[in-house]
């Protein structure tokens, strides 16, 4: 069996594992638990996974809805048909929010539970810098450039030259993360923040590819950070560690 066929089968198996994770690993609130939050997403959404992890870290019960992003119904939720979308039912209305950064910050600020953002303004600015770095640079390179073509290969062969170029750039990006982790276990400060939550699905998916496996050998700090994230209750409860995030 050729390399392309092996990776195509691997991508399919990971996708099936992601679906099974949704069905069997998410903690479904009991009938006595009031659920005021609904998250509209897709099984392999990187930014949907970020919102899921943030909700579990805060201890917020939520309903997870798998949506058809091309439907008119979803267009009413999100003007551009993207995901995730969060609904928070209040006493007299429903607050709706889209865009992952806005959703993640709202989850942290609107609900009780451990803080996911530093109180210090400089530390919070550093956290925001990392979040935007992940979205603007790491996600396009690692997720779109490597993880997506490797784990979700269709009938069209992957562009090996493009993947090779993305792998070189991913190495430069991992070196940046590695430097940030030289003296601490977290991207910012001495505890988990939204910066870590945003990075995890991107680096987690990369680690499932041959390129990612090879790269992480050269960046032990990144590999150790990834293992720490994979051991967290929020990741194990939602099944994120077994999923292959995509878009």
Residue 217 has a pLDDT of: 97
Phi/psi of residue 137, each to 5°?
A: -125, -55
Residue 247 has a pLDDT of: 52
Residue 246 has a pLDDT of: 54
pLDDT at 16 over 70: no
Residue 22 has a pLDDT of: 40
Integer Cα distance of 152 and 158 in angstroms: 10
| pLDDT confidence band for 77 (50 / 70 / 90) | very high
Tokens of 195: 């910066």
Contact 126, 185 (CB under 8 A): no
pLDDT at 49 over 50: yes
Integer Cα distance of 220 and 84 in angstroms: 32
Distances from the Cα of 19 to the Cαs of 127, 151, 200, in angstroms?
A: 31, 15, 19
Residue 179 neighbours by CB under 8 Å, 6+ apart = none
Contact 127, 76 (CB under 8 A): no
CATH of 121-242, one of 1.20.1050.10, 3.90.650.10, 3.30.1490.20, 2.40.10.220: 1.20.1050.10
Tokens of 128: 């925001």
> Mean pLDDT in the chain?
87
Alpha helices in 79-118 (DSSP H): 100-110
Report the DSSP pairing between strands 85-89 and 94-98. antiparallel
> Which value, in Å, is the radius of gyration of the alpha carbons in the chain?
18
Phi/psi of residue 138, each to 5°?
A: -70, -40
| pLDDT confidence band for 21 (50 / 70 / 90) | very low
Residue 155 has a pLDDT of: 73
Residue 34 has a pLDDT of: 77
**What kind and span of H or E run contains 198?**
helix 194-206
Q: What percent of the chain has pLDDT over 70?
A: 82
Specify the DSSP class assigned to residue 187.
S
pLDDT at 25 over 50: no
Q: Give the distance from CA 157 to its chain's centroid.
A: 26
Contact 188, 195 (CB under 8 A): yes
For 85-111, how does the pLDDT look when each residue is reduced to its tens digit (9 = 90+)? 999 999 999 999 999 999 999 999 999
Residue 240 has a pLDDT of: 58
Tokens of 51: 């919102």
Residues, the chain, total?
Answer: 247
Mean pLDDT of 178-201: 96
Higher pLDDT, residue 183 or 171: 171
Higher pLDDT, residue 180 or 5: 180
Integer Cα distance of 141 and 7 in angstroms: 19
Q: What percent of the chain has pLDDT over 90?
A: 75
Residue 245 has a pLDDT of: 54
pLDDT at 193 over 90: yes
pLDDT at 244 over 80: no
For 158-180, how does the pLDDT look when each residue is reduced to its tens digit (9 = 90+)? 899 999 999 999 999 999 999 99
Higher pLDDT, residue 195 or 244: 195
Residue 13 has a pLDDT of: 46
| pLDDT confidence band for 238 (50 / 70 / 90) | confident
pLDDT at 114 over 60: yes
């Amino acid at each position: 069996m050729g390399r392309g066929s092996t990776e195509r089968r691997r991508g399919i198996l990971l996708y099936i594992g992601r679906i099974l994770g949704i069905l069997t690993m998410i903690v479904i609130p009991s009938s006595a638990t009031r659920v005021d939050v609904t998250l509209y997403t897709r099984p392999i959404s990187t930014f949907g996974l970020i919102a899921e992890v943030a909700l579990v870290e805060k201890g917020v019960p939520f309903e997870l809805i798998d949506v058809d992003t091309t439907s008119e119904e979803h267009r009413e939720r999100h003007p551009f048909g993207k995901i995730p979308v969060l609904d928070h039912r209040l006493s007299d209305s429903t607050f709706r929010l889209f865009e992952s950064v806005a959703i993640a910050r709202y989850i942290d600020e609107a609900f009780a539970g451990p803080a996911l953002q530093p109180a210090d303004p400089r530390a919070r600015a550093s956290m925001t810098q990392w979040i935007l770095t992940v979205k603007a640079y790491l996600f396009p390179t690692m997720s779109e450039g490597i993880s997506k073509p490797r784990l979700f290969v269709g009938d069209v062969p992957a562009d090996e030259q493009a993947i090779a170029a993305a792998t070189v750039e991913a190495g430069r990006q991992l070196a940046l993360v590695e430097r940030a982790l030289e003296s601490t276990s977290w991207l910012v400060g001495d505890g988990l923040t939204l910066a870590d939550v945003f990075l995890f699905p991107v680096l987690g998916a990369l680690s499932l590819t041959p390129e990612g496996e090879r790269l992480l050998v050269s960046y032990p700090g990144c590999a150790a950070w990834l293992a720490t994230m994979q051991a967290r209750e929020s990741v194990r409860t939602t099944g994120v560690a077994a999923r292959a995030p995509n878009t």
